[in-house]
Amino acid sequence: MKSRRESAVSNMAADDKLQTGEPLVRVRGLCKRYAQGRWLTRKKFLVEALSHVGLSIRARSTLAVVGESGAGKSTLARCLARLEEPSSGEIWYEGKSLLDLSSQERFWVRRQIQLVFQDPTTALDPRLSAVEIVAEPLVIHGEGSKRDRRQRALTAMEQTGLSPQWGDKSPLEFSGGQRQRLALARALVLGPKFLILDEALAGLDLSMQAQMVNLLLGIQASQALTYLCISHDLALVSNIADEVAVMRQGRIIEWSRTSELFNNPRHPYTQQLIASVPRLESTA
């Protein structure tokens, strides 16, 4: 009980410190519990994947959530994208509560919040062509004529650095980095405001990763996007995030501006995380 109160206090303190711009997304007291059963027994255990998580993300900024696997990062992302129903708590998006929306409002919110997953190979349908994949959200949202949709999909591909000439290729013909660009193009085609990147850069080689980071920063500036970047890679996060929240066992244990977190980590776990990043010593 004590630790919960502690984490709540630190979050409130962090709230005061960090709120300068208007928050686009606000999360308060978010909990998610899963019932887990053992094989062949009726006994169920409750696993707390998210425990009283409080966060806010300013419009046009990037919040990174870091932590090890099982810390609850992806559950948080899925709750924010409304792919998962939280057990309790509040999620506010542009002043509206995401948890009680009419079906019409829900449709509107889905256009605004898009997700990019870690593994582009499983996220892309191999039976569709590249342009069909990118145009699919437009089909679902009933936008434009067929030719119009194709045009918008090709524009989105171009934005992410894919040649429109590749539109009719199968995703299997793309390399890993290009597939992730394709997944990003699909997320951007509806003109969203809030992009959730769930380990979207984790499977890429270093040079592809750097290219993607530059691309994401460019798109953020030109389209006024807000990012929630889920990652276990601290070096990467140090480069794209304005603020970083460290998660462990379903709780946020530290949350501050990126420079503050890296230069002056408070929580021992954060210090341990930062110390474990492999570095090239010669540049020091």
Partner 1 sequence: MEQSSRDPLLQVRGLTVRYRPEGGTEVAAVNQADFTIASGEAVGLLGESGCGKTTLALSLLRLLPTTICDVRGSILLGETELMGLGESQLRQLRGATISIIFQEPEIALNPVMRVGDQIAEVIRAHRPWRKRRCLDEAGALLDQLHFIDANRIFNAYPHQLSGGQRQRAVIAQAIACKPALVIADEPTTALDPTVQSEVLTLFIDLKERFQIAFLFISHNPAILAKVVDRILVMYAGRIVEEADTTQILRRPLHPYTTGLMRCVLEWGDEGAFRPRRVLPTIPGSPPDPANLMQGCPFEPRCPERMEVCTAREPQEVQVEISQRVRCFKYGG
Which residues are near partner 1 by CB under 8 A? 68-69, 175-178, 205-211, 213-214, 217, 232-236, 238-242, 258-259, 262-263, 272-273, 275-284
Q: Which is nearer to partner 1, 109 or 219 (CB)?
A: 219
Q: Which is nearer to partner 1, 74 or 93 (CB)?
A: 74
Cα dihedral sign for 209, 214, 220, 222? Answer: negative
CB of 268 to partner 1, least distance (A): 12
Q: Which is nearer to partner 1, 76 or 91 (CB)?
A: 76
Answer whether 34's CB lies under 8 Å from 91's CB: no
Q: Which is nearer to partner 1, 102 or 276 (CB)?
A: 276
CB of 53 to partner 1, least distance (A): 20
Integer Cα distance of 146 and 139 in angstroms: 9
Integer Cα distance of 135 and 154 in angstroms: 9
CB of 218 to partner 1, least distance (A): 8
Q: 238 has which bridge partners? A: none
Answer whether 189's CB lies under 8 Å from 153's CB: yes
Sheet holding 44-58, edge to edge: 44-58, 23-37, 88-93, 96-97
Q: 256 has which bridge partners? A: 244
CB of 66 to partner 1, least distance (A): 9
* DSSP state letters, 5-73: HHHHHHHHHHHHHH--S-EEEEEEEEEEEEEEE-TT---EEEEEEEEEEEEEEETT-EEEEE--TTSSH
Q: Which is nearer to partner 1, 87 or 239 (CB)?
A: 239
CB of 108 to partner 1, least distance (A): 30
Answer whether 155's CB lies under 8 Å from 126's CB: no
Q: Which amino acid is at 69?
A: S
CB of 91 to partner 1, least distance (A): 26
Q: Which is nearer to partner 1, 23 or 67 (CB)?
A: 67
